[in-house]
Structure 1
Amino acid sequence: MTTILIVDDDILILNLVHIHLTEQGYHVLQAKDGMEALEVFKKEACDLAIVDVMMPFMDGYTLTKQIRKEFDIPVILLTAKNQIEDKEQGYQAGTDDYLVKPFEPKELSFRIKALLRRYDNQADESILSIGDTTINKKSYEVQIGNRTLLLPLKEFELLTYLVSNPKQVFSREHLINHIWGMDFEGDERTVDVHIKRLRERFSILTDDFKINTVRGVGYLLEIQRR
């Protein structure tokens, strides 16, 4: 069940949104200010936050910045203001959407569904899977069965690029430009060294894929069929 945290010092707004979202099938949590909201985050995993701007102890902008530092969830700011400067400050803080009071609960539901859909799509794009091997492009982790690996950055980027484009042959020059950038001052042997490390690292851990050398051209990743 999707969990939504509502943060507002107005008890009427809290109750209104709580009732409406509960009827929509969401699990709803409440907090009356930013400090209380952070305590809720420590105890509960939330999928989306609805945050009022004007609150005691910690305003909505500050809370949104804190959420952005620690969590990858959508945030909707609620405010009685409708000035362009306030909206600018909200988006600079990291909000995904902005809803001005008074608002229709049905409109809030539309916005929630749109944001959850967008974040779900982003989550899907951040995960690559081949057999028992999973690559998380957000956490930079490679998981094989129950084992989790943290690779050096360029090895991770190289592996991710090859896994994203299986059976496609890439020249060393192409890989240098894509992974290291066109301003890279090293030579193409850098690719060979990183490919060698990836082979040594994964050949003993999985047979889900194999990085093949195409003589005179470059490399390709082949998915091993079982």
Structure 2
Amino acid sequence: MRLLLVEDDPMLGAAIERGLRIGGYTIDWAETGEAARAAARAQAYDAILLDIGLPDGSGIDVLRDLRAARDLTPVIIITASGRLDRKVEGLDAGADDYVVKPFDLDELLARIRANIRRHEFRPSDLLSVGEVTLDLSARLVRKGDEQTNVTAKEFRVLSALLRRAGQFISKGELESALYDDASDVESNTIEVTIYALRKKLGAGFIVTARGLGYMVPK
């Protein structure tokens, strides 16, 4: 997996880059906001680690430009500022996570994995299988011409299944799509959600295979 590190401090940047490479990632390192914008235009990344204080402006502006260009790459802000208003500003601008320096490398790697995992289940357009259509921007589900009311959990599970229609998704993967920490998930959450979706969309819309998980057939 390839990450973009945006950090202007040479020593800190080198340390982070070394740790991420040891963690198994390919790293591109940009030291300015303009270099970060150029890299994001030229290359698709699995995640971006973005410092706020850059020599040519704020990393928040870089983030806003990415989101304005409909770049949905997970962005983790890494900054020395732990002020609440800065965190709120970053998250409102479209950041997926916020890590305050100094941080533990193992925690950063865990946050990278969690954000990449969630992004895999984030559809970026309309998803349709048969009569069922999911509209992410409007957060609507339709069966044929009729709108189907679903809960937030049902919407996220259905999004994951439609995103990977024709492939089995394990229960654990679906739990990870719902929660940052799967250990907090009640044991029957996925089963209850799948049961509810079948009632609303049809008993055969989601199939189950022991040892493989759940799938929406194409």
Shift of 1:15: 1.1
Structure 2 Cα separation of the partners of residues 125 and 68 of structure 1: 15
Aligned partner of 1:62 in structure 2 is 61
Structure 2 Cα separation of the partners of residues 60 and 6 of structure 1: 12
Aligned residues: 151
CA RMSD in angstroms comes to: 3.4
When residues 162 and 112 of structure 1 are mapped into structure 2, their CA distance, relative to the original with a 3 A threshold, is: same
When residues 24 and 36 of structure 1 are mapped into structure 2, their CA distance, relative to the original with a 3 A threshold, is: same
When residues 109 and 129 of structure 1 are mapped into structure 2, their CA distance, relative to the original with a 3 A threshold, is: same
Structure 1 Cα separation of the partners of residues 134 and 14 of structure 2: 38
Aligned partner of 2:2 in structure 1 is 3
Whose Rg is larger? 1
Aligned partner of 1:116 in structure 2 is 116
1:161 and 2:161 are equivalent in the alignment: no
Structure 1 Cα separation of the partners of residues 126 and 47 of structure 2: 19
Structure 1 Cα separation of the partners of residues 2 and 135 of structure 2: 24
Aligned partner of 1:36 in structure 2 is 35
Q: Deviations over 1:154-211 (max 9, x none)?
A: xxx8xx7237xxxxxx8xxxx2xx39xxxxxxxxxxxxxxxxxxxxxxxxxxxxxxxx
Aligned partner of 1:187 in structure 2 is none
Query: SS of the counterpart of 1:122?
Result: coil
Shift of 1:13: 2.0
When residues 137 and 12 of structure 1 are mapped into structure 2, their CA distance, relative to the original with a 3 A threshold, is: farther
Shift of 1:58: 2.5
When residues 43 and 125 of structure 1 are mapped into structure 2, their CA distance, relative to the original with a 3 A threshold, is: closer
Q: Which runs of 5+ in 1 are unaligned?
A: 140-152, 164-169, 180-219
Shift of 1:21: 1.2
Contact 2:125/2:136 (CA < 8 Å) preserved in 1? no
Shift of 1:137: 5.0
What TM-score comes out, normalization by structure 1 length?
0.57
Contact 1:8/1:14 (CA < 8 Å) preserved in 2? yes
Q: Runs ≥4 in structure 1, deviation > 3 angstroms?
A: 123-130, 135-139
Structure 2 Cα separation of the partners of residues 69 and 113 of structure 1: 25
Aligned partner of 1:83 in structure 2 is 83
Query: SS of the counterpart of 2:35?
Result: helix
What TM-score comes out, normalization by structure 2 length?
0.59
Contact 1:35/1:58 (CA < 8 Å) preserved in 2? no
1:96 and 2:96 are equivalent in the alignment: yes
Structure 1 Cα separation of the partners of residues 123 and 12 of structure 2: 31
Contact 1:8/1:32 (CA < 8 Å) preserved in 2? yes
Equivalent position amino acid for 2:101 in 1: K
Structure 2 Cα separation of the partners of residues 137 and 5 of structure 1: 30
Q: Which runs of 5+ in 2 are unaligned?
A: 149-201, 206-216
When residues 136 and 87 of structure 1 are mapped into structure 2, their CA distance, relative to the original with a 3 A threshold, is: same
Equivalent position amino acid for 2:142 in 1: Y
In percent, how many aligned pairs have the same letter?
27
Equivalent position amino acid for 1:66 in 2: D
